[in-house]
Structure 1
Amino acid sequence: MALIKRYGVYLAIAAFFIYTLYSLSFPYQPEGNPIQNDNKDNHKNGNKDKESSKSPPASKSYNWAKVPINYPVESMVTLPTGAPAPLPKIQHAFKENEDATAKNIRETRREEVKKAFEICWKNYRQKAWMRDELSPISGGSVDTFGGWAATLIDALDTLWIMGFREEFASAIKDVESINFGSTPMAMINVFETNIRHLGGLLAAYELSGEQRLLKKAKEVGEMLYRAFDTPNHMPKTRWDFQKAGAGEKQTADQAALVAEIGSLSMEFTRLSQHTNDPKWYDAITRVTKVLEKEQDKTKLPGMWPIVVNADKSDFTLDNSFSLGAMADSTYEYLSKTYALLGGLEPSYKKMYEKSMATAIKHTLFRPMTPDNADMLMAGFVRVDDSVPTLAPRMEHLVCFAGGMLALGGKIFEIPEHVTIGRKLTDTCVWAYKASPAGIMPEVSHLLACANTTGCAWDEKVWKDSVAAKADLGTDKDPLQNIANLRLPEGFTSIEDRRYILRPEAIESVFVMYRITGEQQWQAAAWDMFTAIQQHTATDLGNAALLDVSAENPPKQDSMESFWMGETLKYFYLIFSEPNVISLDDYVFNTEAHPFKIPKPKA
């Protein structure tokens, strides 16, 4: 009620703020408010608006390049000029002569990953071609992202990287037939379309040089550009496709997820670089300037809250902060966009350093674990009366942060960030190993040490914490009920026991391997892959799991496009030769689509 009293003008959205904060701090609600569909929302939270397996109905078609602009930009911000600055070396200096035994093991594992992808691709092509997703148990198909063949476009660059060149070439003619001017869906998620469709097309174009893919990428870009046609040029994140196509005026959202407005910079920058048209870079730079302006004004200066008012360009109201769901890729894109711009736009470096300083100070905690390992995890912070309170929440989504900090530490030459990235990734590897199925759950809470320097494992403290969190009451021996909660030691609760084929943990394991050259990361990756394959494989592909705390987790008839676009790609690359998509040459968008880093001329 305090929010309603203090901010009377925001009565209409106060309930949403309260709901969002509640859902982040307490047991996970997989079918929450539709705005919670995030990014890595549909992507992040696993909520999807699905159409039936029948072919989608026809709808009116728009040529987005010709749809009139209601709020034209008077003066474009152009791409920075000048020779790209050389970045520090990122990848480990791998030996040219690989040990024969190690090479055989690596290549055998790489081929196993490739076989898993091939099964998924073959059945997607046979049973769900041109639809967004294959249903890997029933063999049906669903549309979740506009009906624009999300799995096809997400997997294009994976096809190329894995060497399926004939399949890649065959798919291009069908990609050409996709009509981004029409959709059976009422609302379009701008973020998801950006990272999957625009990102996927741009990366496939860069790898192959196929001009038809750049043409399709521009079509997606023309569509997404209309989401920025608002009075203040901030994007409309959940977008009424038909109204926009009809030329109706729109305003930016008064309650938007920061990840959905802050995670467009890589793709829009890249599209402008490839087309020599500055309008996409201009559009995203206007968002970047607001992020920069608001960064020190929030309730946790340095970080941006999960919910922001895009319509007023006001990021000061919400008091919830996280590197996880609904915020994540805003932070991820800072160092990566800096690299894409050849180091010529210093604001991204400043925002990265400032945000990570705050995140390290306020969001990180050390879990208490039976082996007393020196690990870290990024939790959820709420700020009340200027006092930040950290909840030791762990999300599979936040496992990307280890790779983000390690990569940022190399790009900006901050060794401490590489060390922190290692400790964050260690926790995610531990969480996989601790699970009965060998796969970490979607959302859980851990027992936090009093500080990040460490604490000794205390089983009684852990059990007392579990009992208190589960509200086991004052029975004669409430601890006897702990076994019924199915919690690995160190976990105090598991709010969401699913695994939806997410890539974030293997993403960071891959980055750590490429940065350090340590084979322990390949070993961890193989353990993860074998556990995932054992429990998720079906005759047609791989299925999401409903409960990884069970030794034989029940399956869900869902295989999101990021399984082939991200998860299997990272598993494949960690067992590939290090020069395949080298981190010295490419940065990945949040959907694992690689973009080439511009280099200074020799």
Structure 2
Amino acid sequence: MPVATLLPFTATPSRKSASPTSFRLTEKFILLLVFSAFITLCFGAIFFLPDSSKLLSGVFFHSSAVETNTRTGTDSDSNVAVGTEEKILTKIRKDHEKALVEAKDTLQKRPDEIKQDIQDEKDKVLKEGKGGKDYNNLPVIEYVRPPGATGHEPSDPETKERRAKIKEMMTFAWDSYKRYAWGSNELRPVSKQGHSSNLFGSIKGATIVDALDTLYIMEMFEDFDMATEWVEKNLDFNVVFRRKAIELGEKLLPAFKTPTGIPWALLNLKSGIGRNWPWASGGSSILAEYGTLHLEFMHLSKLSGNPAFAEKVMNIRKVLNRLEKPQGLYPNYLNPNSGQWGQHHVSVGGLGDSFYEYLLKAWLMSDKTDEEGKKLYYEALQAIETSLMRKSSGGLTYIAEWKGGLLEHKMGHLTCFAGGMIALGADGAPEDKTGHQMEQASEIARTCHESYARTTLKLGPEAFRFDGGVEAIATRQNEKYFILRPEVIETYMYMWRFTHDPKYREWGWEAVQALEKHCRVEGGYSGVRDVYASSPNHDDVQQSFYLAETLKYLYLLFSDDDHLPLEHWVFNTEAHPLPVIRKEMTDKPSQLE
């Protein structure tokens, strides 16, 4: 039986291979697959789709039954198909006639009678949902659609042209995937075939799932429909309805059955037995795994009416609060049995990154009511500034790694997300530190830009160092690769939103030009093995997160601020937007109780 990983963490610089009987779905798949993509897009279609009433009535996207019944085939079954079509048309005519009668009756009523009818219908829905259930045994939940799921074209001609170019890049990447790798997890753009590493196990379609909201945000609606149809018909677990997402969420809950409540990294979905990676400091749980559940699980509790999901992630906080933290820092490893830290290795890059991001975003998604999350974030940021943040002799600010009390003066590409995170949280900073934190964010953005500018291909390495007389340069061969990562672009997008300094759009456009020149091949986009080489040596993988994150953040960088406005949306660590849960909604008598 395949073993599914529980947690959507940001991948480490060197990914470990799983055993033949298990698989590791790291930064871009399982909770992205289940919670981020499906909760946000499938049930979250309430926010995106023009007619969200179809979802609440149990109809989603297309009716496969109608498609099947009306599809013509051989001569022997064509008559059946024709007969079915006539029956459908007859039913449509009858429904139409009935609707006309009802409309005529309504027009003859007084305004106060119409108003009363509307109220009666509302009361009926509420009464039916009072037991907390609809026909799928789920709570009836009212949502106010946040604005900005799509956006208008920028008025500035150059920005409009560049934004259109990003959409063309997305179209090319998606069309290449459709042509050569449809249904596979990822695309090999050089060899023009499907690709699936052991990270994905037996599940297929990672690129389809990952790209769903990007397709919608860029208004590629036909492709969006094609993708959702594939998900509905082909994805393992058939997770396309809100009901199915909740069912799978419930299957993940046994992972929390540890003495501390800190979840296992791996869970057998059939037996409910969990375990951790043997390489992770004696089988410890990993900070960026168990610490990157909060947004999805809180959202899932709201959608399901089941408080268990929220309780699980809140318990993680309780455990962490009880522990003594070395220099205020959170080590990357925690033993779920003993509740003690493992190896004292601290990183704001791989193994640790998204934990800090989620402390801040938990506060933002709660409409700034989660004061504990806010407090923990700013305390952690202060510890990072004191113990890890350094400035090179050349004036570049970087975030080092900490191993057993010693600093390693290395910064990973993954760590470059921190510039955007710090900017996002600067407005709520304590003791009037907003300006200071914005300056920190700006300096980190500059450092990460330099890591790109100092390469031959103008693309950033996986990690870069500040020792031995070098600054912002990769010195080890296994750190010189670029796999289409989004973190630097992510920081540019946030910095543009908060400062409107044109350099961030210029830096983003430099990245676009480098991607087009060195990563675009005949069959899509490929990573490169050495960004310091005179010509690119392609790794032949178009990562799913290139469509989900890199191109999405580039598109938003060249969009107006009212496209997915940050006061209404929070991006999870995989760049999938979740709506802010408004305080006034939580203050109302809950439909979930």
What TM-score do the two structures reach when normalised by structure 2? 0.69
**C-alpha RMSD over aligned residues:** 2.8
- Given the alignment, which residue of 329, 351, 358 partners 1:303? 329
- Given the alignment, which residue of 505, 519, 525 partners 1:542? 525
> Is the 1:113–1:568 contact (alpha carbons within 8 Å) kept by the matching residues of 2?
yes
C-alpha separation between the residues in 2 aligned to 1:506 and 1:526?
A: 10
Task: Give the corresponding residue for 1:441.
Answer: 461
Task: Give the corresponding residue for 1:261.
Answer: 290
For 1:230-258, what per-residue CA distance to the aligned partner results, in whole angstroms no more than 9, with x for missing partners?
Answer: 3443211033x3xx403557689842221
Letter in 2 for 1:583: L
Letter in 2 for 1:273: K
Please report how far the alpha carbon of residue 534 of structure 1 lies from its aligned counterpart in structure 2 after TM superposition.
1.2
Task: Give the corresponding residue for 1:425.
Answer: 445
Task: Give the corresponding residue for 1:356.
Answer: 381
Task: Give the corresponding residue for 2:182.
Answer: 129
Provide the identity percentage.
28
Q: Per the alignment, do residues 599 and 38 of structure 1 end up closer, same or farther by CA in structure 2, a change over 3 Å counting?
A: closer
Instruction: Tell which structure's C-alpha radius of gyration is larger.
Output: 2
Q: Per the alignment, do residues 226 and 533 of structure 1 end up closer, same or farther by CA in structure 2, a change over 3 Å counting?
A: farther
Q: Per the alignment, do residues 352 and 380 of structure 1 end up closer, same or farther by CA in structure 2, a change over 3 Å counting?
A: same
Is 1:378–2:399 an aligned residue pair? yes
Gaps of 5+ in 1: 1-34, 52-63, 65-95, 183-200, 202-211, 448-464, 467-486
Q: Per the alignment, do residues 552 and 277 of structure 1 end up closer, same or farther by CA in structure 2, a change over 3 Å counting?
A: same
Q: Per the alignment, do residues 376 and 309 of structure 1 end up closer, same or farther by CA in structure 2, a change over 3 Å counting?
A: same
C-alpha separation between the residues in 1 aligned to 2:517 and 2:15?
A: 22
Task: Give the corresponding residue for 1:245.
Answer: 270
Letter in 2 for 1:167: D
C-alpha separation between the residues in 1 aligned to 2:211 and 2:19?
A: 20
Letter in 1 for 2:332: I
Task: Give the corresponding residue for 2:252.
Answer: 224
Task: Give the corresponding residue for 2:145.
Answer: none
Task: Give the corresponding residue for 2:171.
Answer: 118
C-alpha separation between the residues in 1 aligned to 2:153 and 2:353?
A: 38
- Given the alignment, which residue of 391, 398, 420 partners 1:403? 420
Task: Give the corresponding residue for 2:220.
Answer: 164
Task: Give the corresponding residue for 2:547.
Answer: 564
> Is the 2:255–2:263 contact (alpha carbons within 8 Å) kept by the matching residues of 1?
yes
> Is the 1:445–1:494 contact (alpha carbons within 8 Å) kept by the matching residues of 2?
no
> Is the 1:270–1:340 contact (alpha carbons within 8 Å) kept by the matching residues of 2?
no
> Is the 2:265–2:276 contact (alpha carbons within 8 Å) kept by the matching residues of 1?
no
Task: Give the corresponding residue for 1:40.
Answer: 10
Q: Map 1:500-515 onto structure 2 (within 5 A).
A: 500-515=483-498
Task: Give the corresponding residue for 1:282.
Answer: 311
C-alpha separation between the residues in 2 aligned to 1:223 and 1:138?
A: 38
Gaps of 5+ in 2: 21-33, 35-151, 586-593
Please report how far the alpha carbon of residue 216 of structure 1 lies from its aligned counterpart in structure 2 after TM superposition.
4.3
Please report how far the alpha carbon of residue 441 of structure 1 lies from its aligned counterpart in structure 2 after TM superposition.
0.7
Please report how far the alpha carbon of residue 409 of structure 1 lies from its aligned counterpart in structure 2 after TM superposition.
1.2
> Is the 1:435–1:548 contact (alpha carbons within 8 Å) kept by the matching residues of 2?
yes
Letter in 2 for 1:584: E
Task: Give the corresponding residue for 1:214.
Answer: 242
> Is the 1:38–1:45 contact (alpha carbons within 8 Å) kept by the matching residues of 2?
no
Q: Per the alignment, do residues 578 and 343 of structure 1 end up closer, same or farther by CA in structure 2, a change over 3 Å counting?
A: closer
Provide the secondary structure at the position in 1 that maps to 2:407.
strand
What TM-score do the two structures reach when normalised by structure 1? 0.68
Task: Give the corresponding residue for 1:191.
Answer: none
Provide the secondary structure at the position in 2 that maps to 1:546.
coil
Q: Per the alignment, do residues 162 and 249 of structure 1 end up closer, same or farther by CA in structure 2, a change over 3 Å counting?
A: closer
Is 1:589–2:572 an aligned residue pair? yes
Please report how far the alpha carbon of residue 179 of structure 1 lies from its aligned counterpart in structure 2 after TM superposition.
4.9
Q: Per the alignment, do residues 336 and 178 of structure 1 end up closer, same or farther by CA in structure 2, a change over 3 Å counting?
A: farther
Q: Per the alignment, do residues 180 and 399 of structure 1 end up closer, same or farther by CA in structure 2, a change over 3 Å counting?
A: same
For 1:57-112, what per-residue CA distance to the aligned partner results, in whole angstroms no more than 9, with x for missing partners?
Answer: xxxxxxx9xxxxxxxxxxxxxxxxxxxxxxxxxxxxxxx997x6xx1111111111
Please report how far the alpha carbon of residue 336 of structure 1 lies from its aligned counterpart in structure 2 after TM superposition.
0.2
Is 1:394–2:364 an aligned residue pair? no
C-alpha separation between the residues in 1 aligned to 2:481 and 2:492?
A: 21
Q: Per the alignment, do residues 217 and 497 of structure 1 end up closer, same or farther by CA in structure 2, a change over 3 Å counting?
A: same
> Is the 1:38–1:326 contact (alpha carbons within 8 Å) kept by the matching residues of 2?
no
> Is the 1:546–1:555 contact (alpha carbons within 8 Å) kept by the matching residues of 2?
yes
For 1:323-356, what per-residue CA distance to the aligned partner results, in whole angstroms no more than 9, with x for missing partners?
Answer: 1111000011001011122233322111111111
Q: Per the alignment, do residues 271 and 494 of structure 1 end up closer, same or farther by CA in structure 2, a change over 3 Å counting?
A: same
For 1:257-314, what per-residue CA distance to the aligned partner results, in whole angstroms no more than 9, with x for missing partners?
Answer: 21111111111111112222212111211112212222xx1333x2211222122221
Matched length: 439
Q: Per the alignment, do residues 219 and 121 of structure 1 end up closer, same or farther by CA in structure 2, a change over 3 Å counting?
A: farther
Is 1:293–2:322 an aligned residue pair? yes
Task: Give the corresponding residue for 1:83.
Answer: none
Q: Map 1:149-188 onto structure 2 (within 5 A).
A: 149-181=205-237
Please report how far the alpha carbon of residue 442 of structure 1 lies from its aligned counterpart in structure 2 after TM superposition.
0.6
Provide the secondary structure at the position in 2 that maps to 1:493.
coil
C-alpha separation between the residues in 2 aligned to 1:40 and 1:426?
A: 22
